[in-house]
Amino acid sequence: MKRIILCFSILVLLVCEGKLSAQQNNKLPQLLIRLDDIGMNHSVNMAMLKAAQTGMPLSASMQFACPWYQEAVEILKQYPNVTVGVHLTLTSEWKNYRWGPVTGRTAVPSLVDSNGYFPQSTRAFNKNHYKVDEIETELSAQIERAINSGLKITYIDPHMGIMLSTPELRALTEKLAHKYHLAISTLSSVTYFGETYKEMWGEPIATKKEAFLTYISKLNPDKPNLMVLHTATPSPEMDVLVDMNSNMMNSKDGKPLTSVHRQTELNALLSPEFAAMINKKFKLINYSQLLAGKDLSILKAADNE
């Protein structure tokens, strides 16, 4: 009899521990990792592949106006753990590596420079006297290219922040989301599903990994936490890319540093330290999981400024 009681007590203890563990897991902060600029080039795609192969739930924002988007589509069809969004693109920010509108330069003349490419900076974009109807035409084409690729598209978000930078452009973004039944991923203070926002883009290379690990170890338990990463593997093409928007992406003598920045962010994501935090410091989710059961028919932004 004592043995039966002992066995029962152990069983109860194990069940209680299991319930407690489940409760603790439910209280863990939620972390979304969003990889930006997918499809930009082969190096960025290879970084995404490495991340996808881990099986982690991730989100990938793709630039369907870029030359390498087709390779990214082929990769992502193999990895359902990655939720896909359209990175709405109206700029082409690199020296000597450019892209233009899906619709063609003659269809959207206010969106291109004299060579038929998107402007290289947000300042140049604004000086171009863009026409909103042409933006709608081009971004509709980008979204439709994404949908027609065969991938399941879940959300949209703005490359370099342009499409959430003014009330007029934000309204158009919401119109496109409603038209194509898509969510909108957050940008800084503009959020649609309550996410906090953080990116490692501006963090110095020397402290980037430490800053990343420190931040994700102290996430907000009451809101989904979005971390945006820009990743790439080293390659001759990636290593020579000069960012025309930010001096911090280039050394004082003009040497491009973007490749090293992106490699460092990839290494942090794939690090043993990050893996050890999953389900202990936070629960990792993607946008499909965040949006499950949510009504996308009405999207209204809430500024957290």
CA 119/CA 24 separation, integer angstroms = 49
CA 264/CA 62 separation, integer angstroms = 20
Q: What are the residue ranges spanned by the domains of the chain?
A: 27-303
At residue 61, the 3 state secondary structure works out as strand
pLDDT recorded at residue 246? 84
Rg of the chain, C-alpha, whole Å: 21
pLDDT recorded at residue 7? 42
Which whole-number Å values give the CA distances from 55 to 37, 231, 280, in the listed order?
20, 17, 17
Distance of CA 190 to the CA centre of its chain: 15
pLDDT recorded at residue 10? 43
State pLDDT tens for residues 102-158.
999 999 999 999 999 999 999 999 998 999 999 999 999 999 999 999 999 999 999
Which whole-number Å values give the CA distances from 128 to 53, 89, 132, 200, 244, in the listed order?
41, 15, 12, 29, 17
Q: Flag residues of the chain having pLDDT under 50.
A: 1-2, 4-24, 303-305
Helix (H) or strand (E) holding 175: helix 167-180
pLDDT recorded at residue 297? 74
pLDDT recorded at residue 254? 81
Under DSSP, the state recorded for 29 is: P
Instruction: Tell me which residue of 95, 94, 30 sits closest to 230, measured CA to CA.
Output: 94
DSSP string, 231-251: -----HHHHT--BSS-GGGB-
CATH fold of 27-303, please?
TIM Barrel (3.20.20)
pLDDT recorded at residue 48? 98
pLDDT recorded at residue 301? 67
pLDDT recorded at residue 20? 40
pTM of the entire predicted model: 0.89
Instruction: Tell me which residue of 207, 214, 211, 266 sits closest to 238, measured CA to CA.
Output: 266
Q: For residues 184 and 108, is the Cβ–Cβ distance under 8 A?
A: no
Q: For residues 160 and 130, is the Cβ–Cβ distance under 8 A?
A: no
When the pLDDT of each residue in the chain is averaged and rounded to a whole number, the result is 90
Bridge pairing between strands 190-191 and 196-199: unpaired
